Every structure is written in structure tokens, then in C-alpha cells.
Amino acid sequence: MAQPQARDEKAALSILLVASSLTILAGALVSPALPAMKERFADAANVDLLLTLVLTVPGLSIAIAAPIAGLAADKIDRLQVLLIGLVLYGLSGASALVLDSLEAIVVGRVVLGLAIGCTMTSATALITDYWDGAQRQKAMGLQAAAVGVGGVCYPLLAGVLTEFGWRTPFLVYLTALALAVWAARKLWEMPRVAEQRVGSTTAGFPVALAAVVFFLGFLAMVVLYAIPLRTPFYLTDLGYPSPTLAALAISLPSLMSVVAALNFGRLRAHLSPEAILGLSFGCMASGYAVVAAVPGMWGLYLGLIVFGAGFGLNGPNLMSWLQSSVPADQRGRAAGGYTTCVFFGQFFSTFVYTTLANVGSFSQTFALVAMVCLAVSLLGWLATASIQRRLVSS
């Protein structure tokens, strides 16, 4: 990437990685505080429903806001969208420090989701603006790794802070305001992208590829959420009702996804996106197959480790694959569309696994999801073989 020396690329990457990891804070900071919040608002009408919304409503508003934020990033200014998102994030996230009704807190969480939609979409678009080729693939891998690290660290931080009161974890959201100041000083809008936005149209947008990537992002999130939605109940059935063991099981895929994402750039130098798609979903299929076939806690842990390796490759592969084919002035809407599909997948997974829990066992559920992953893996490898045949014959 050819940038003026005055631009601090290391600082820029650090800012964008932290901004990307903030997505995890939406639920991670709140979850440990829910029991204390229920006690505090025990007299509120529909307290259980409202507490559920406190946890889940940001995902819905992220899905709604992301495509709008993507269009704004393309038409106006990606850096401005990021800064607005960070400021809204800090204020809305910390609003629970002073609000005294669950209804008001839920409204604050809705605004938080809108802020995350702006932040995640614009951060991804800026990464694809600042870096090209192998550097972009490395940055995408680091972005996925940052989200994975957040998935491991933020819940632990929230648990410690909740010991000091249910409002205390909400203080962490204020760090987004400091990040906004840092971003305003260190980030820059790409002139060549700003110029291309004038008179921009949808010409050249890879609609077919985008549809495939969006669907695969949606599917991967549905597949992932079998872990937090079903694993604690499975461990309880095995005679291990410990929340610590459940937390460890849920954290294992995040730990492995960090390792895989950090190596995505090296892998992409040797394999096509289609091949990595086959590899990533193949690992996810293998991991869930182990969980289904090897009863017990250690079979569960081993399978989740294998699954995490595949999941960690999937996100950066899909995003770099799409963004490398999208015109520079349309990367915001591409990132927004992907973010929307991922969070709709998170929301949709609740209904999928509630239904499967009522009609089959834990092992049957994971075996079924493993077969879905295997089918996608085979399609990826078939596409790779077809491309290679065309290259040989040309």
C-alpha cells in the first residue's frame, strides 16, 4: 500500500481492530449482570421479556442499521460514519449507568445496536480502503482475530466488574469516546475513494458473488450459535452443570478462531477463496461430527477446538473475497450487507435450535449441522476443482 509517510498505518490498524472488537461488547458486558438486574427491577412488568431484549435487541438493530450505514459510508464519508458510530456507542452503551427503568435501558440498547452497525461497517470498509492484496488479507485476518480475542476476554472482564455492582460493567462503553478521539487524529479518508463516489452507480457490483457470501455469512453464524445455545444444556445432561465448564466450552472456538485468523494471510497466499471455503466448512463439519460421535465432555471440547479452527478462517475469507471484487466506491454497502446477514443469522439461530431441541437429541442436532457444513465444504472443493480445470485447459 502506497501511503504518505505521515500516515501512521500501525495506529490506524490498531484503531480499526479495536473498533471491530467492540461488537462483542454488546452482549458480553451485559450477560453476567442480568441476574442482578432482575433483582433490581423485580417489580417491573414483563421483567423477563425486557431482560431478554436487553441482551438480544442490539443484534436486530445492528442488522437493520448496517446496510444504511454502508450506503452512508459510500455516499458521504467512511471516517465520519465511524466517528459518529463510536460516539453513539459510548453514550448509548453507558446510558444504563444513569437510567432507572428497564424500558429506557432497552431503548439505549437499540441505539447501541445502531452505533455498532455504523462502527463495524465503516471499520471494515476503511480496512479495505487502506490496504490491498496480501496486506488486506492479513488485515482481514487480524480483524477476525481481534473479534475472537474479544469473545474470550470481554466476558471475563464483565464477570469481574459485575462483582462491584450491575451498573459497573457499563462504564467500559465509555472507552469508545476515547477511541473516537484517537480515530479522529490518526485515521484519514481516502481521496481516490471520495472522488469515485461522485456519480457512483451500482454498475460493476458483483451481485451473484455478494449473494453467495452473504448467505454463507448468515449460515456460518447459525452454525456457530449451536454452541452457546445447546452446549450448557448438554453439559448439564452429562452431569457437569458448572457455569465455568460451560464458559470454557463456549470460549474454546473463539481461542482457536484467533489462531486460525492470524494465519489466514499465509494460507490465502497458497489457496483460492473457494478452497479456503471448503477447508473452513470442512473443519466445522469435522468438529461437530466429533461432538456428535464422541459422547462426553472431552469429545465436546475436542470437537469445538476443531470447529473453531474452521470458523476462524471463514470470516476473513468471505470478506476479503467479496471486497476484492467490489468497486472501491461500493465497499461500504458490501460490508453493510454482510454485517446485516451475519446478525440476522445470530437472531435466526434461536428459532432453529429451539425447534431442533424439541425434535432431537443433542448429538442428533450436531450431526445434522455437521452434514450441512459438509455439503458447503464439498461445494467449495468442487468449485476449486472446476477453476483449476479451466486454468489448465486455457
In 10 A of CB 237, how many CB atoms?
Answer: 11
Confidence of residue 337 (pLDDT cuts 50, 70, 90): very high
| Residue with the three cell numbers 438486574 | 37
Fold of domain 205-394: Growth Hormone; Chain: A; (1.20.1250)
DSSP code of residue 22: H
- Judge whether 8-191 and 205-394 match in fold: yes
Indicate the average pLDDT of the chain. Answer: 88
Residue with the larger pLDDT of the pair 218 and 45: 218
Is pLDDT of 85 > 80?
yes
Q: Where are the domains of the chain?
A: 8-191, 205-394
> Which alpha helices (H) appear in the chain, and where do they start and end?
9-28, 34-40, 47-75, 78-93, 102-130, 133-162, 175-186, 191-197, 207-224, 226-237, 243-262, 264-268, 273-293, 297-323, 331-359, 362-393
Q: Would you say the pTM of this structure is higher than 0.85?
A: no
What average pLDDT score do residues 377-387 get? 89
Residue with the larger pLDDT of the pair 209 and 346: 209
pLDDT score of 394: 60
CATH homologous superfamily of 8-191 equals MFS general substrate transporter like domains (1.20.1250.20)
pLDDT score of 341: 94
